[in-house]
Amino acid sequence: MAASAQMDRSSENQSLASRRIAVIGAGPGGLASAMLLAHEGAEVTVFEKEDRVGGRSSCFEFEGFRFDIGPTFFLYPEIIREIFARCGFSFDEMVRLTRLEHLYDLVFENGPRLAVTTDPERLEAEIAKISPQDAKHVRRFLDDNRGKFDRFIAPLQRPFNSALDLVRPDMIRALPVLAPLRSIDSDLARYFKDPRTRLAFSFQSKYLGMSPYRCPSLFTILSFMEHEFGIFHPRGGTEAVMAAMKQAAEALGVKFALSTPVEEIRTENGRATGVRTGQGEIRADAVVVNGDFAHTIQRLLPNTTRRKWRNERIAEKKFSCSTFMMYLGLRGEMPDQAHHTIFLSRDYERNFAEIEEGKVLSDKASLYVQNAGVTDPGQAPEGCTALYVLMPVGNLHENGFVWDESARQRARRIVLARLRDAGFGDIEERILVEKTVTPQEWQDDHAVHRGAVFNLAHSLGQMLHRRPHNRFDDVKGVYLAGGGTHPGSGLPVIFEGARISADLMIGDLGKTRAIAPDRRIASPPLVAECSRGSV
């Protein structure tokens, strides 16, 4: 998704020289914003409460095992490549990406097991294991979604500030392919009769924390993007990309205040004037908020300063599901297991209904498993395996499931049992290192509202102009970057949102500037190291 020509022209003719910008949060959106704004001449400081950058896109290392915390792969890396190039750097010189031809193993509880690749003929052969008739329609699905993707690129590259943005030419052009009243599953029913085939092309709605039976049909493009462009693994894990972004940002003059939580966004007469930390107040011409939207806005801006996004309105919003995580360091290798495995419950629809209700733990849960060592051996000590296991669960409802120690142990037992069902065997005796994370800990330790790790749900009522705007409406001089603003969650979309927000700020604050020379990092490393932490 290249940035729109209008935004690029604005960037070429504007400058933020002498402007001070405070970025709250060093997640992917904050890092991208810092790079883009510093390249325009701004004096940028990034405030991060942790002692490392990346947020949930970082990793931790313990006893030689390395685990991604949240995202485990890159989809459509063109956006981050373009951000690096715009700032004068070569992304591919700084990060080593491996394109996975074998995307993932897709394991249905009652069979079959599919080895999903980017090759259309092999994909048809794998789908034929479910239904030879459905396999005949795979290419029609891919062709139709190629057209949908091409038509919807432009609206995802610009801000949506009001309903009037829905009638701009790019949206009018996209409307015929959007089918806004259809879910992903009902849209796929036009191509595939077997529910399992539809799941093979719809489970990706989990990337948004939503059920394919509720997620808008637009998001069939997620599956298309995997098959069209591939899935990428950054050597060293996702934090290698975050470390490269920090390195580029520092070369552009960005300052990082790590282990420095922001306590308040300071305002005067409805405009942001800076931030307050434990070390005092720092004046700024504008503020970028990269924290989890619902958590950060309610904590840093008093309710009385927010007309549109008051606490009461946020409480009414729908949020994504959460996850129960297990990070497992195992004795022995797993060379026969894929880099990514998706295990789908025989009653997937009921499983997701229980997740949405958020009152029980499903015994028949679905799982996502990463076995990165088959691609990146440095993820574990020699002869061992670093296994990342994600089980979707409900978020923290006010009267929902209570995540006490008993619930943690029950969730652990379910995951280990479901790993056996998925073909990973009985691994409990092989565990050398173990860490679990519950929705309560996502909220308490990682500042994620309700533990909803995919942020605000991507329902029709919470997309485009109905999502928090990139230029925050309630306080002038505040801009949003992250999954809680337009266009939404997921790494490529967060990068695009950061680019939209940065370009808005450039247009709002910038003045004519002289052309600055490219600033490159001398002899950049191919692989950025994951910062070392502990469980």
User: What gap in Å lies between CA 177 and CA 381, rounded to an integer?
Assistant: 49
pLDDT at residue 407 greater than cutoff 70: yes
Query: Residue 517 falls within a domain, yes or no?
Result: no
Percent of the chain with pLDDT over 70: 92
User: What gap in Å lies between CA 23 and CA 252, rounded to an integer?
Assistant: 15
Check whether residue 336 and residue 445 sit in a common domain: yes
Query: Residue 534 falls within a domain, yes or no?
Result: no
In this structure, what CATH number is given to the domain that contains residue 353?
3.30.519
Supply φ then ψ for residue 461, to 5 degrees.
-75, 0
pLDDT at residue 526 greater than cutoff 90: no
Taking a C-beta distance cutoff of 8 angstroms, is the pair 32, 80 a contact? yes
Strand partners, 117: 102
Taking a C-beta distance cutoff of 8 angstroms, is the pair 501, 481 a contact? yes
Check whether residue 325 and residue 444 sit in a common domain: yes
In this structure, what CATH number is given to the domain that contains residue 42?
3.50.50.60
DSSP 102: E
Tokens of 442: 């996502």
pLDDT of the residue at 510: 67
Query: Residue 529 falls within a domain, yes or no?
Result: no
Lowest mean pLDDT among 53-62, 347-356, 387-396, 520-529: 520-529
Check whether residue 409 and residue 297 sit in a common domain: no
Please list the helix, strand and coil fractions of the chain in percent, rounded to the nearest 5, in that order: 40, 20, 40
pLDDT of the residue at 521: 39
Closest CA to 468 of 289, 265, 218, 239: 289
Tokens of 366: 């679905």
Taking a C-beta distance cutoff of 8 angstroms, is the pair 298, 450 a contact? no
Average pLDDT score, the chain? 91
Taking a C-beta distance cutoff of 8 angstroms, is the pair 340, 72 a contact? yes
Domain boundary among 174, 203, 229: 229
Closest CA to 454 of 220, 237, 212, 206: 206
Check whether residue 329 and residue 419 sit in a common domain: yes
Query: Residue 468 falls within a domain, yes or no?
Result: yes
Per-residue pLDDT tens for 240-272? 999 999 999 999 999 999 999 999 999 999 999
Check whether residue 137 and residue 211 sit in a common domain: yes
pLDDT of the residue at 460: 84
pLDDT of the residue at 534: 36
Rounded mean pLDDT, 465-481: 96
Check whether residue 474 and residue 504 sit in a common domain: yes
The alpha carbon torsion through 28, 98, 209, 173 (nearest 10 deg) reads 80
Check whether residue 434 and residue 504 sit in a common domain: no
Query: Residue 66 falls within a domain, yes or no?
Result: no
pLDDT of the residue at 209: 86
Check whether residue 396 and residue 349 sit in a common domain: yes
Closest CA to 4 of 145, 124, 169: 169
Please write down the HEC assignment for all residues of 459-514.
Answer: CHHHCHHHCCCCECCCCECEEECCCCCCCCCCHHHHHHHHHHHHHHHHHHHCCCCC
Check whether residue 123 and residue 198 sit in a common domain: yes
Q: How confident is the model at residue 16 (pLDDT cuts 50, 70, 90)?
A: confident
Check whether residue 247 and residue 354 sit in a common domain: no
User: What gap in Å lies between CA 147 and CA 301, rounded to an integer?
Assistant: 42
Q: How many other β-carbons are positioned within 10 Å of the β-carbon of residue 164? A: 9
pLDDT at residue 84 greater than cutoff 90: yes
Predicted structure pTM score: 0.91
Tally the domains of the chain.
Answer: 3
Closest CA to 96 of 231, 245, 233, 247: 233
Query: Residue 379 falls within a domain, yes or no?
Result: yes
Query: Residue 92 falls within a domain, yes or no?
Result: yes
Domain enclosing residue 189, as ranges: 119-159+182-229
pLDDT at residue 13 greater than cutoff 70: no
Check whether residue 339 and residue 311 sit in a common domain: no
Pairing type for strands 271-277 and 280-283 reads antiparallel
User: What gap in Å lies between CA 23 and CA 31, rounded to an integer?
Assistant: 9
CA 116, distance to chain mean position in Å, is 22
DSSP 3: P
Per-residue pLDDT tens for 275-334? 999 999 999 999 999 999 999 999 999 999 999 999 999 999 999 999 999 999 999 999
Domain boundary among 416, 449, 482: 449
Rounded mean pLDDT, 331-356: 94
Check whether residue 221 and residue 245 sit in a common domain: no
Length of the chain: 535
Percent of the chain with pLDDT over 90: 81
Q: Which residues lie closer than 8 Å to 173 by C-beta, 6 or more apart? A: 151, 154
Q: How confident is the model at residue 6 (pLDDT cuts 50, 70, 90)?
A: very low
Query: Residue 392 falls within a domain, yes or no?
Result: yes
Strand partners, 281: 276
User: What gap in Å lies between CA 152 and CA 145, rounded to an integer?
Assistant: 10
Q: Which residues lie closer than 8 Å to 51 by C-beta, 6 or more apart? A: 258, 259, 531, 533
pLDDT of the residue at 180: 77
